[in-house]
Amino acid sequence: MNNNTIFQFFNHLKNDKISFAYRGSFSNSVLAMATELIKNNMDAEHSKLRNKLSFLMIESFQNIARYADSEAFPEPETNSDFFMTRNIGSTFYIISANLVSNDKVASIRERLERVNTLDKKELNDLYREVLTNKQINQKGGAGLGFIEMVRKSKGKLPFDFVKASETHSMFFMQIELKNPNVESEQEPAKIEEAKAIQTLIAENDILMMHKGSFTSDAISPVLRMVEDNMNSMKLKVQKKIYHFLVEILQNISKHSYVINNDREGIFLIGFKDGVFNLGTGNYIENDKIENLKTQLDHVNMLSKEALSDLYRKYLREGRETETGSAGLGLIDLARETDDNINYSFTKVTDEYSFYSLTVKF
Amino acid sequence: MLKKIDIKPTDDLPGVIFDPQKNFFMIFGRILPEDGRIFFNPLLEWVAEYVKDPNDYTELHFKLDYYNSSTARMLTKLIVELEKILETGKKIKVVWEYAIDDEVIKERGEELKSISYLPFELRVIS
């Protein structure tokens, strides 16, 4: 992951009001956190969709477990299970991707094609029929999951299979939940976009991605989610990641450029060869760039010892800024990272630019 | 005597007990406000009163899981304010508690100790 990757992600997601993606092994705690995160941070105009959205996220999540081939070891790892929720305009999208064995592809395809052609009454009939005929398949699903997804979302289920090996394919599926009370001129998102994002995430060894408006209220659930997902890591690594996110997200909430009342930002957590990569990005006013660059170059130039001295000096003597943080945040990040703070500014308009940071632990 | 402070901890803000009568002073939990001043300024005002007529021996315990950089500065201010007790001839000590595997909090305690004039004990807790 580098600063270019972050910009690429941001561009893919530029119409997303909120989006969250996760790659790796799935547990119920990830599910609980993901649903909480989306529920807490979705725009108020969509609040009536909350319960439905949670329900559909759970169905989608469990669908991964139901159809995933637990025997298959994702090889290469780019085929790890993938889950994403995004909101564009009036529609929420829930995307899942997982490996299935090739001999199941035909039957999954058949079921999905069937539910995608039925109207409301036919769906209800099928639902009843499946329930009463007890034609339960060995995984206990009988396609009820798909039927429920279509009934609850009132939309189709776009899907695709991408051959991964001689024995397995990646199975992509997208649930679409539209808010009937909100007008939107946004183009609907196609499943191809989700596939492109999954590829980007997998190729960059990303574990978690979140884009949203990082106001102070929105930060707490994000932090809770990340924290709850780090239980297996060493405490020191946990605290470093946590610390980086606190400082950066609070920085976004204080200083990022406001567009339509939002302080949009993105963060990504990647892991490769024993090293954690963290990246963030947000908009910033062009006339703030020079000052920020100077500060970044300054802390990058200093040795760890010099950074510690400077930190202590600021602690004791202060360097009052408007928010009272005394520039400590940046010094602190610089001394905690194993490398430099890598940064980049990409001009978007005459008014503002895209500003990204990456650090390693 | 000053009225005691008893603040319950939340997800983002610490618990605080400043009880001069029972002679018990502790800040615990996690602290991550965007602007540390909102939470800490009232505490600093309280301490500014307390140091005018402190107990014979004051022991302030920190038992923290995490705090952000906006808070680091406020904790330092608190410690600097407490240094005034030294001028009264009365005794004061800071006890910085940390879990045995929590290197981050330990290092931060060492750092605060190095910039403070107060007796400052780092105490490992199990």
Average pLDDT over residues A10-33: 83
Take residue A335 and report the two structure tokens written for it.
Answer: 């001394």
Q: Flag if B104 and A254 touch (Cβ within 8 Å).
A: no
Decide if A238 touches B, using CB distance below 8 A: no
Question: Which value, to the nearest 10 degrees, does the dihedral of the CA atoms of residues A236, A307, B29, A319 take?
Answer: -160
Query: Backbone phi, then psi, for A276, in 5-degree steps?
Result: -90, 135
Q: Determine whether the interchain pair A220/B72 forms a contact, defined as Cβ–Cβ distance below 8 Å.
A: no
First vs last C-alpha separation in chain B: 35
Of A140-144, A214-218, A272-276, A300-304, least confident by mean pLDDT is A140-144
Cα B61–Cα B79–Cα A219 angle in degrees, nearest 5: 75
Contact A216 B34 (CB under 8 A): yes
Residues 6+ apart with CB under 8 A from B9: B15, B28, B29, B30
Quote the ipTM score: 0.84
Local structure of A355: helix, strand or coil: strand
Given this model, what pLDDT does residue A326 score?
46
Q: Which residues pair with A22 in a beta bridge?
A: A83, A208
> Residue A20: which of A4, A41, A3 has the closest Cα?
A41
**Does the structure show a pLDDT above 50 at A139?**
no
Would the pLDDT of B109 be above 90? yes
Q: Write the single-letter amino acid at B105.
A: I
pLDDT, mean of residues A230-237: 76
* Residue of B34, B36, B66 with shortest CB distance to A254: B34
Domain that holds residue B37: 5-125
pLDDT of A183 higher than 70: yes
Looking at the partner chain, which of B12, B73, B102 has a beta carbon nearest the beta carbon of A328? Answer: B73
d(C-alpha A197, C-alpha A212), whole Å: 16
pLDDT in tens, B36-79: 899 999 999 999 999 999 999 999 999 999 999 889 989 999 99
Residues 6+ apart with CB under 8 A from A341: A296, A299, A300, A330, A333, A334, A357, A358, A359
- CATH number of the domain where residue B91 is located: 3.30.750
CB of A55 closer than 8 Å to CB of A152 = yes
Residue A240 vs residue A343, higher pLDDT: A343
Give the tokens for residue A119. 């109207």
Contacts of A309 in chain B (CB under 8 A): none
- A320 touching chain B per CB within 8 A: no
Task: Give the whole-angstrom CA distance, residue B20 versus residue B2.
Answer: 7
**Quick check: is A359 in a domain?**
no
Pairing status of strand A16-23 against strand A82-88:
antiparallel
Does residue A331 contact residue A325 with C-beta atoms inside 8 Å? no
Chain A hits for B32, CB-CB cut-off 8 Å, are 223, 246, 250
Q: Does residue B118 surpass a pLDDT of 90?
A: yes
Beta sheet of A275-285, edge-to-edge order: A159-163, A168-178, A91-101, A82-88, A16-23, A206-213, A264-272, A275-285, A352-360, A342-347
Q: How many domains does chain A have?
A: 1
- Provide the pLDDT for residue A240: 83
Give the range among A24-33, A91-100, A298-307, A344-353 with minimum mean pLDDT.
A24-33
- Residue whose entry in the numeric block shows the structure tokens 């189709």: A156
Q: B77: which 2 tokens?
A: 């201010």
CB crowding A151-175: b at 16 or more within 10 Å, else e: ebbebebbbbbeebeeebbbbbbbb
Q: pLDDT at residue A340 above 80?
A: yes
* Count of domains for chain B: 1
Q: Inter-chain contact B102–A220, Cβ cutoff 8 Å?
A: no
CB-facing half-sphere around the CA of A6: CA atoms within 13 A: 29
Arithmetic mean of pLDDT, A330-352:
91
Among A174, A121, A119, CA closest to A149: A174
Question: Residue A321: exposed, middle, or buried by beta-carbon count in 10 A (0-12, 13-18, 19+)?
Answer: exposed
CA distance A146 to chain B (A): 38
Smallest CA–CA distance from B71 into chain A, residue: A325
A290 in a structural domain: yes
Q: What was the pLDDT predicted at A65?
A: 73
Integer Cα distance of A246 and A274 in angstroms? 22
Question: The domain containing residue A307 runs over which residues?
Answer: 284-351
> Token pair for residue A339?
């490398």
**Chain B residues closer than 8 Å to A240 by CB:** 104
Within 8 A by CB and 6+ apart from A128, the residues are none
CA A347 and chain centroid, separation? 24
